[in-house]
Structure 1
Amino acid sequence: MRTVVVVGGVAGGMSAAARLRRRDEHARIIVVEHGEEVSFANCGLPYYVSGEIEARRSLLLHTPTSLARTLRLEVRSRTTATAIDRTARTVTLEAPDGGTELVDYDALVLAPGAYAVMPPIPGIDHPRVRTLRTVPDADAIRGWVTDGAQRAVVLGAGFIGLEAAEGLRHAGLEVAIIEAAPHVLPVVDPEIAHHVRVELKAHGVAVHEGVAATTIADRDGRPVVTLADGTVLPTDLVVLSVGVKPRSELAAAAGLALTDGGAIVVDADQQTSDPFIWAVGDATASVHAVTGVVAPVALATPANRGGRVAADAIVARWATSRGTAEGVDSTPGQHSDSTESAEPHPAVNALDAGHRRSPRPLGTAIVRVFDLAVGMTGASRRALDGQPFHTARTHSGHHAGYYPGAETMHLLLHFAPDGRILGAQGAGRAGVDKRIDVIATAARGGLHADDLVDLDLSYAPPFGSAKDPVMMLGMIADNVLHGGLTQHDPAVAIDPEQQFVLDVRNPGEWERGHIAGATLIPQPQVAESVDRVRELAAGRPIVVHCASGFRSYLAHRTLAAAGMPSANVSGGFTSLAVLQPQLVTTD
């Protein structure tokens, strides 16, 4: 009988263990989890804190008893793997009572997860400072809320921080969120983060960006957070969400290859530098599909997929070999009898030699911030720094505008000069998840940005538009890549003294706000005004914009036909006003 030890439960570890059982009916599978709960919905913790998920038991997906009954797994909760002997292929386990056990393994899967980063802030050990990564964390925070907490400070405005802030506000607390980076949700571009900031403030959350917490003091048993700008925030609790780091000490002590950042190095089979050890989840490093950066991707989907891949790789090894790999003998006397025959055990559901491997991740993710959804896939502008790329932007309804209830959705698509999809982001009250997932699927399938025009998407007025926003992004990309559209990046400075800025919106839009120094000529009048434009431009480069980019594209083409090249502002005034608000006036 072969023995597989899985160190760590939750997403990656439990996926590996469950898949292994489905592939091998007779293997002994031991799951070791240092915490109390071996299988819980960690992504649901903020919604338990808020009260949206009422029952704690809803978070507990499986118990040791249910796993033993349904999958015949040996689950050791509150047990720690303390050492690995790679030569003897044994792992040392420490039980809750302090006793130790030496367990032989034929395959070892490491799924230790990650630690919450604890910044070196005086007072970070205050008893009312918690992370939000485990059920006990959520229990503590919800307990404080139930006991009458009125104020909360959230340190870190990434995905978990935003979800925590939303949850605590839903629970009725006054909430302040602190982000040391220049803007909330630093993984997205500033123009998308703008909508997050607006939504937070609209729901009464105090937002502090570009400033870090420097101390956490105690006042009558409650924390007092002081920021670098001198702001003092008395509070009843602090949620810490400034990032995670790989829990890789066990792997390091065993001599497995790690990245400079401490993540476990794995290949596409999730195999480590030891041919009998695999690793999955937040402790592992992946090569980003777009940037090529090697780093952990702390998301549930890659962790679950990695567990499945590791299990399949283990079974494929068993089904096709005597158990040797890269010159390492698999036949110490006390190990499995799998080397007695080259034939796979009949209980092993063999895979073909081309079993599925882990793809390079795109980092597709989404977060709800009150009534706003914010999603992303691929690389952000910051991640693409130094690389040439174009950006298409749309600000359109999530379904047909004439059908009641259309909500504005802000989308952007980064693409390479050769058309490769590099990344996409979106923010809106409806429809964002669908569009980001469509673009992520297109990117995974190797489609180029201009191929989005040809997608065959479902359409009816309550659900979308005949020209879906994703298709519109593709049309913009097609125009950029194949001629007909020169864009001006709204993040790049505009100087009306050095450039002729042509606003082709209507007078009502102009009065509500416009670029200082711009000239208003509504789009229907541009064709009859080309001589005036030429005279006013006086040889200066022409930058044309409307509200979102479509009317100005028409003007852009009209000017081109008259022999006047111009640049159309990508995303129009909507994007300009967000990225360069200092240019906007109502005078």
Structure 2
Amino acid sequence: MMQETFGKALYGWGSNDAAVPKTGIKLVIIGGVAGGASAAARARRLDETCEIVLLQSGPDVSFASCGMPYFIGGECTDRDQMAVQTPESLRKRFNIDVHVNTRVTKIDTDNKTVTATDETQPGSQTTIAYDELVLAVGSEPLKPPIPGIGRKGLFALRNLQDMDAIVEWLNDMPNKCSTCSEYGNKVPLHAVVAGAGFVGLEMVEQLMRRGLEVTVVEMLPQVLGPLDVEMAAIIEDDLKAKGVNVVTGDGIQEFLPFNGNEHGDDPSTVVKLKSGTLLPPAQITILGMGVRPDTKVVAEAGIECTPRGHIVVNDYLQTNKASVWAAGDAIEVLNPIVGNGDKWAVPLAGPANRQGRMIADNIFGGEKKMRKFKGTYAASVVRVFELIGACVGMNEKMLSAKQLPFASVHVHPGSHAGYFPGAKSVNFKLLFHPTTGQIWGAQAVGEEGVEKRIDVISTAMQGNLTVEDLAELELCYAPPVGSAKDPVNIAGMAALNVLEGLVEQVDWKELKKAASLPGVVILDVRNPGEIEKSGPLIEGCNAKTINIPLDNLRARVGEIPADTERIIVSCASGQRAYYACRILMQTQSAKVENLSGAFKTFSRVSERV
């Protein structure tokens, strides 16, 4: 009750005028992409009498920002379809007064006005009154103060104008960038992508599709920060196999003019890394170093923001100022996975659209119909060449930072029945609470069926299911599209085995250290032919390594030295090792552990520990 009273006093949603649905009001929305356009369209459907004014910097509203890399690469070819709605279509269909090329420079919450300038007419100024104000200001590309970052040929990608500029530059690039004796008679067309996040890797793929050589530079020690390192390594290895020059753990120090000539005809840029490495001259550089909320004007109005600039909202998406709401990339939302009021910023189009719709519901529905935004689970997906990487919830880094207890399992089942042609491996990681079985998050990488499994986990998390529930889920099965035991079921079963003490695990990061201790035996239960083809599990350590195929284990268990104190078991993917652990746990006095992720995981990332 005290919290509810505080919320009403702070945010003003308990006043008498909120008790009944509003009609005939003036609604002003700043930002016309995902959250703003969604709020505007929903508001019109709820009230035909209200006046809706939409203010958008730049000439486009409701554009397909997530599709821009694919237009640059040529997979999407219709420029008109990149604008989901236009100012004209919003006016005709929804009777919305759309003002494009309009940048808001001041918000006055006391007098309930916004001041804006026409970007096509410098010095112009207009003041617009509002009854309710929605902030959908979004985010802007992060452009750190790196020397040379203002050079020609360096592009961030925020809107359709950026997209058009990149396409125009690429089309004219062979004419701009000519010769250099240091690199041969003809400079190879080379692109540098700064940042290996979702958009960065999409741009790597699309620039390769246009025939460029590509280097991607990431300051973090891995690509795709939302994934844990062993999952991201699958995509990183594939990038390298495709010919991408992947640089991780090294930031950009400076963007230098090509051949040291700032005023030369060739606008190519040499990227200097903090390690001192000079990359080959790049004819185009894409800046994908992350985003930050575009909230300078918002904060100046006294609207509460976090130290990182995100707008603070309550459960109903209201700010600390009466009649001011906020949605999209610029807000901080509840993290429902952790609970206890924990918050995080998740810049995704899906949540932004739902938030905009909910704000309209709350404005026009009245207090009795107010809807709470329950938070965001951060379900995300990216395609990088043939691979799909997807995740939901929290990763190991986040859990460790919050000091939350967790366990994980890795499984590598097929995307559908193994006997049906074309099955692809789904590399799947499930994170969960080691005693309650609460699902913290999941990650998956593969060529087929990846996003489907992460969608199932996301739904399970939103329904407060546990790993035990995952093992029992009833999911579609037919040989071309699934298995009788879906990868989600298998992950749930593996987690349940850990939860119930049927198997103990050693994480892949701990294997090298454990292998160097006395009394430890590494038992590889793969067949000899597999080891000959793929290589041994671990080399160069003092541990005693034994190969006994699973099917021979019962007959040959005597080959394990009698003084063994600890047996770490591995196979290719983990399943046979689990079977072996169950045999050994019931017949041996030594401590028995299964190597989480087995050979498939450890061999890929063993050099990282």
Once the two structures are superposed, the pairs formed by residues 35-184 of structure 1 within 5 Å of their partners are: 35-95=58-118, 96-97=120-121, 98-149=123-174, 150-184=189-223
What is the SS of the residue equivalent to 2:168? helix
What is the SS of the residue equivalent to 2:143? coil
| Structure 2 residue corresponding to 1:362, chosen from 360, 377, 380 | 377
Q: 1:176 to 1:497 in 2, by over 3 A?
A: closer
Measured in 2, the distance between the counterparts of 1:405 and 1:356 equals 45
What is the SS of the residue equivalent to 1:518? strand
Measured in 1, the distance between the counterparts of 2:291 and 2:607 equals 34
Measured in 1, the distance between the counterparts of 2:134 and 2:349 equals 17
Measured in 2, the distance between the counterparts of 1:408 and 1:274 equals 51
Contact 1:291 1:383 in 2 (8 A): no
The yes-or-no answer on 1:230 pairing with 2:249 is no
Give a deviation string over 1:163-211, Cα, whole Å, max 9, x none.
1111111111111100000011111111111111112112221111100
Measured in 2, the distance between the counterparts of 1:243 and 1:100 equals 32
Contact 2:173 2:283 in 1 (8 A): no
How far off its partner does 1:355 sit? 4.2
Aligned to 2:579: 554
Give a deviation string over 1:48-67, Cα, whole Å, max 9, x none.
10011112111011111110
| Structure 1 residue corresponding to 2:441, chosen from 423, 442, 452 | 423
Q: 1:497 to 1:115 in 2, by over 3 A?
A: closer
Which residue identity is paired with 1:315?
F
Aligned length: 547
| Structure 2 residue corresponding to 1:509, chosen from 517, 524, 530 | 530
Aligned to 2:320: 273
What is the SS of the residue equivalent to 2:510? coil
The yes-or-no answer on 1:572 pairing with 2:598 is yes
Once the two structures are superposed, the pairs formed by residues 212-227 of structure 1 within 5 Å of their partners are: 212-219=251-258, 220-227=266-273
TM-score normalised according to structure 1 size: 0.91
Aligned to 1:401: 418
How far off its partner does 1:466 sit? 0.3
Measured in 2, the distance between the counterparts of 1:85 and 1:235 equals 46
Measured in 1, the distance between the counterparts of 2:545 and 2:165 equals 56
How far off its partner does 1:247 sit? 0.6
Measured in 2, the distance between the counterparts of 1:61 and 1:580 equals 46
| Structure 2 residue corresponding to 1:308, chosen from 320, 336, 357 | 357
How far off its partner does 1:550 sit? 0.9
What is the SS of the residue equivalent to 2:270? strand
Once the two structures are superposed, the pairs formed by residues 436-447 of structure 1 within 5 Å of their partners are: 436-447=454-465
| Structure 1 residue corresponding to 2:565, chosen from 534, 540, 548 | 540
How far off its partner does 1:497 sit? 4.2
Give a deviation string over 1:100-122, Cα, whole Å, max 9, x none.
22222110000111111111210
How far off its partner does 1:539 sit? 3.4
| Structure 2 residue corresponding to 1:520, chosen from 547, 550, 565 | 547
Which runs of no fewer than 5 residues in structure 2 stay unpaired? 1-23, 175-188, 259-265
| Structure 1 residue corresponding to 2:239, chosen from 192, 200, 207 | 200
How far off its partner does 1:534 sit? 4.8
Measured in 2, the distance between the counterparts of 1:489 and 1:192 equals 14
Measured in 1, the distance between the counterparts of 2:569 and 2:369 equals 53
Contact 2:72 2:206 in 1 (8 A): yes
Give a deviation string over 1:87-112, Cα, whole Å, max 9, x none.
11111122242432222211000011
Measured in 2, the distance between the counterparts of 1:451 and 1:118 equals 45
Alignment identity in percent? 41
How far off its partner does 1:357 sit? 2.3
What is the SS of the residue equivalent to 1:115? strand
Which residue identity is paired with 2:35?
G
Which residue identity is paired with 1:448?
T
How far off its partner does 1:286 sit? 1.4
Measured in 2, the distance between the counterparts of 1:287 and 1:493 equals 36
| Structure 2 residue corresponding to 1:410, chosen from 417, 423, 427 | 427
How far off its partner does 1:275 sit? 2.3
Aligned to 2:17: none
Stretch moving more, 95-104 or 58-67? 95-104
Measured in 2, the distance between the counterparts of 1:75 and 1:192 equals 44
Measured in 1, the distance between the counterparts of 2:413 and 2:504 equals 21
TM-score normalised according to structure 2 size: 0.88
| Structure 2 residue corresponding to 1:500, chosen from 521, 539, 558 | 521
How far off its partner does 1:531 sit? 3.1
| Structure 1 residue corresponding to 2:497, chosen from 465, 474, 479 | 479
Which residue identity is paired with 1:507?
P
What is the SS of the residue equivalent to 1:407? coil
How far off its partner does 1:577 sit? 1.0
Give a deviation string over 1:284-329, Cα, whole Å, max 9, x none.
1113233565332111011111101111111123xx5xxxxxxxxx
Which runs of no fewer than 5 residues in structure 1 stay unpaired? 321-352
Contact 2:413 2:426 in 1 (8 A): yes
Contact 1:176 1:207 in 2 (8 A): yes
Which residue identity is paired with 1:403?
F
Which residue identity is paired with 1:221?
P
The yes-or-no answer on 1:285 pairing with 2:332 is yes
Which residue identity is paired with 2:295?
S
Measured in 2, the distance between the counterparts of 1:383 and 1:65 equals 44
How far off its partner does 1:581 sit? 4.1
Contact 1:282 1:303 in 2 (8 A): yes
Measured in 2, the distance between the counterparts of 1:10 and 1:354 equals 26
Measured in 2, the distance between the counterparts of 1:414 and 1:237 equals 39
Contact 2:523 2:567 in 1 (8 A): yes
Contact 1:291 1:384 in 2 (8 A): no
Contact 1:372 1:429 in 2 (8 A): yes
Which residue identity is paired with 1:407?
K
How far off its partner does 1:541 sit? 1.1
How far off its partner does 1:255 sit? 0.2
Measured in 2, the distance between the counterparts of 1:141 and 1:104 equals 38
Aligned to 2:388: 373
What is the SS of the residue equivalent to 1:242? coil
Aligned to 1:327: none
Aligned to 2:45: 22
Which residue identity is paired with 1:246?
P
Contact 1:377 1:425 in 2 (8 A): yes
Which residue identity is paired with 1:160?
V
Which residue identity is paired with 2:274?
A
Measured in 2, the distance between the counterparts of 1:557 and 1:281 equals 49
Measured in 1, the distance between the counterparts of 2:303 and 2:385 equals 43
Measured in 2, the distance between the counterparts of 1:107 and 1:135 equals 29
